[in-house]
Each structure stands twice: as C-alpha cells, then as structure tokens.
C-alpha cells in the first residue's frame, strides 16, 4: 500500500501546475529562480506574481546581475506587488549572496534564514525545492490541507504548531522538493477554501475533516479586527516648469525607500496636522485618495499648489511626464491620478 507521500507524489506527477519558476519534471530547480519566486509569493498569489517574475528574470537573469542593480531600480520594477519591504530585502539578500557567498545560495535552512527577508517558511521551501533537503514548508495552502486531513480544529494562529508537526510527519526522505510543491498544488487546486474538490483528492479517504463533514469549515480562523483609518494631507506641488515635488520615504518602515507625494503626519484621531514640504500656497483639490494597507486604511486629503522653493534634501523635482520612472507605491499613484485629473484647479 502506498504511503500518503507516495500517493500525493503520484498525483503530482499527473497534475502538477506549470509555473514560470518551476523546473520541468526530472530537472533540478535553479536556486535563484526558486528564491526569487518565493519572495514574490509572500503575500501574493501565483497568477499575480508570474508576470513580475518573468520581467525580473529578463532584466536580472541571475543573482549577480540583481546585486548590481540600484535599490531604486528594484523598487521601481516591484511597483504593484506591494509589501515593499520584500523588495528591499530581495535587493539586500542578492548583494549578500554575491559578495559573501560567491553568488551561490546557502543550501541549508539555517543558512538561508540568515538572508534578509527569508523566514522559516521561505527557508524551508527553498531548501526543499532548490536543494532537495528534507524540509517542511507550511504556507496557507499547506495549513488548510493539514488542518483538514488531521481535523485540527484549534483556531489559527494557535493551531500553527500542531499543523507544522502534522506536516513534518508526512514529509518524505525521497523527493522532498517535489513533495513540498505537491502539497502546495493540492491546496491551490483541489483542497480549496470554498467547495473543496474532495473527489479529486488523493488523500480523500484519509481526510478526517471530510469524514466528519466539516472540511469547508477548516482551518478555523480568528475573526478579523476592523482596520483603523488614518488621515493625512498630501501636497501636490508644481514648480511651473512641468515638475512636481516628490519625497523619498525613510529606508526603514512602511514603504521604506519609496518615493511619495509629500504628506503631513498620518493620524487616527482628530484632524490631520499640516505638514507642507516647502513654503508655498495650496488649495484643497476636493478629493480623497483612499488606500488599504494590511493593518490600517489611509485617507489622504489632496491639496495642490505651486512653489519656487529649492527641493529639500530628501526631495526631488520630478518631471510630471516621467513619473512612471519613479518608485511610487499604489497609495501615491492614487494621489497622482487625482491631482492630474484636477490640474485645472491648480492655483
């Protein structure tokens, strides 16, 4: 009788997904491609990450090429993927691998975890897929599969340790890289959050949640908290020569290293305080740029104006017709769209 791992690998050999970063059957996965894809797949679904992966690979085909890029280039190429700390860590890790490891990625979980942006899951995934180490990678798809297979009814995140133990107990010595991808594929294509396709699952007969008729209710998740709203004032400032003032955010923290339309402090209570970047005069645009971050919602009251002041040290006068060349996060692109739509209101 086949073990659970053997049954899943047999299913995987017939139904594996074709993904741009995945090595063809029987071929060895390239560590750079695996690492790049795993960083992109943090907080991003495969369908959305695919086009970015292809563009990055065309522009920077190996870790050495990525290490020579500037942070601005990487951030600009990352626009739209969100969670920009991943891009900063990607750039920092590439430089470490190139400078300290001779362009070769560490092949152990411990060595990989020493790289910026590589946590427990990502290290396990790279170790298994790129180096065929016996490592247990547990992402959201794997959590769902294991919670149902073993009927783990403890709510997340408290259930994470039990889920990881269950997953580790199934990880085989043979083909651990294929097995890791097989569990992910099972969760992504069969063991779906809603209406799981149990009849197509190679583990259906062993699934305790299916037997109890509660598969769709697992894993149990703690109720989400309402996100607070933070408010601020964004200053769209033109110089009369077709340029707008942009400011670089601090390297650390939210949207670190990205460019922004300067704004005052973001506050949750009371009216947002003024915080113009230079001396000038601004008028309300009558429009609010609203953007949802993971832990809060941001509302920026857009004001427009002109100024002839020199750009402060952390700012630059950027040509309005060349803004696509700047690493502007989505929240700031919304400010740009509103400002450009109302340019006739500039004082």
Tally of CA atoms within 13 A in the half-sphere of 63 that contains its CB: 24
- Please say if the pLDDT value at position 346 is more than 50: no
Selected residue with higher pLDDT from 141 and 82: 141
pLDDT for 343 equals: 59
Question: Which tens digit of pLDDT belongs to each residue from 322-331?
Answer: 998 888 999 9
Confidence band, pLDDT 50/70/90 cuts, at residue 1: low
pTM of this prediction?
0.82
Question: Which tens digit of pLDDT belongs to each residue from 43-68?
Answer: 889 999 999 999 999 999 999 999 99
β-pairing verdict for 259-260 and 243-248: antiparallel
Cβ neighbours of residue 28 under 8 Å, at least 6 residues apart? none
Task: Provide the percentage of residues in the chain whose pLDDT is more than 90.
Answer: 79
Confidence band, pLDDT 50/70/90 cuts, at residue 79: confident
Question: Which tens digit of pLDDT belongs to each residue from 87-99?
Answer: 999 999 999 999 9
Cβ neighbours of residue 324 under 8 Å, at least 6 residues apart? none
- Check 38, 109, 143, 260 and give the catalytic one: 38
Confidence band, pLDDT 50/70/90 cuts, at residue 347: very low
pLDDT for 264 equals: 92
In 231-257, which positions are buried (b, 16+ CB within 10 angstroms) versus exposed (e)? bbbbbbbbbeeebbbbbbbeeeebbbb
What does the block give as tokens for 178?
Answer: 């294929």
- Please say if the pLDDT value at position 345 is more than 70: no
109 is known as an active-site residue: no
Which of 303, 5, 341, 345 is CA-nearest to residue 173? 5
Question: Which tens digit of pLDDT belongs to each residue from 23-38?
Answer: 998 888 999 999 999 9
pLDDT for 342 equals: 75
- Going from the N-terminus, what domains does the chain have, and what CATH number goes with each? 4-137+156-187 (1.10.340.30), 229-345 (3.90.79.10)
Coil, strand or helix at 297: strand
Q: Is the dihedral of CA 110, 105, 44, 12 positive or negative?
A: negative
């Amino acid at each position: 009788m086949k073990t659970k791992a053997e049954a899943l690998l047999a299913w995987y050999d017939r139904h594996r997904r074709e993904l741009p970063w995945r090595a063809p059957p029987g071929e060895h996965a390239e560590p750079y491609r695996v690492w790049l894809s795993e960083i992109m797949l943090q907080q991003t679904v495969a369908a959305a990450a695919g086009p970015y992966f292809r563009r990055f690979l065309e522009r920077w085909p190996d870790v050495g090429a990525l290490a020579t890029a500037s942070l601005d280039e990487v951030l600009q190429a990352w626009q739209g993927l969100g969670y920009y700390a991943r891009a900063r860590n990607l750039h920092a890790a590439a430089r470490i691998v190139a400078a300290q490891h001779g362009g070769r990625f560490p092949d152990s979980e411990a060595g990989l975890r020493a790289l910026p942006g590589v946590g427990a899951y990502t290290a396990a995934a790279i170790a298994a897929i790129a180096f065929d180490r016996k490592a247990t990678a547990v992402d959201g798809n794997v959590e769902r599969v294991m919670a149902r297979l073993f009927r783990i009814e403890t709510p997340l995140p408290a259930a994470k340790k039990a889920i990881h133990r269950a997953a580790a107990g199934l990880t085989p010595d043979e083909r651990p890289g294929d097995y890791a991808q097989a569990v992910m594929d099972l969760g992504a294509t069969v063991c779906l959050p809603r209406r799981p396709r149990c009849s197509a699952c190679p583990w259906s007969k062993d699934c305790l949640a299916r037997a109890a008729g509660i598969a769709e209710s697992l894993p149990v998740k703690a109720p989400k908290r309402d996100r607070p709203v933070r408010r601020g004032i964004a200053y769209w400032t033109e110089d009369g020569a077709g340029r707008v003032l942009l400011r670089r955010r601090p390297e650390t923290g939210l949207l670190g290293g990205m460019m922004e339309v300067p704004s005052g402090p973001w506050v949750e209570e009371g009216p947002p305080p003024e915080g113009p970047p230079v001396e000038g005069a601004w008028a309300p645009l009558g429009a609010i740029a609203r953007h949802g971050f993971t832990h809060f919602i941001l509302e920026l009251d857009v004001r427009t104006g002109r100024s002839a002041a020199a750009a402060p040290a952390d700012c630059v006068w950027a040509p309005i017709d060349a803004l696509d060349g700047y690493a502007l996060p989505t929240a700031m692109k919304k400010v740009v769209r509103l400002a450009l739509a109302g340019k006739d209101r500039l004082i």
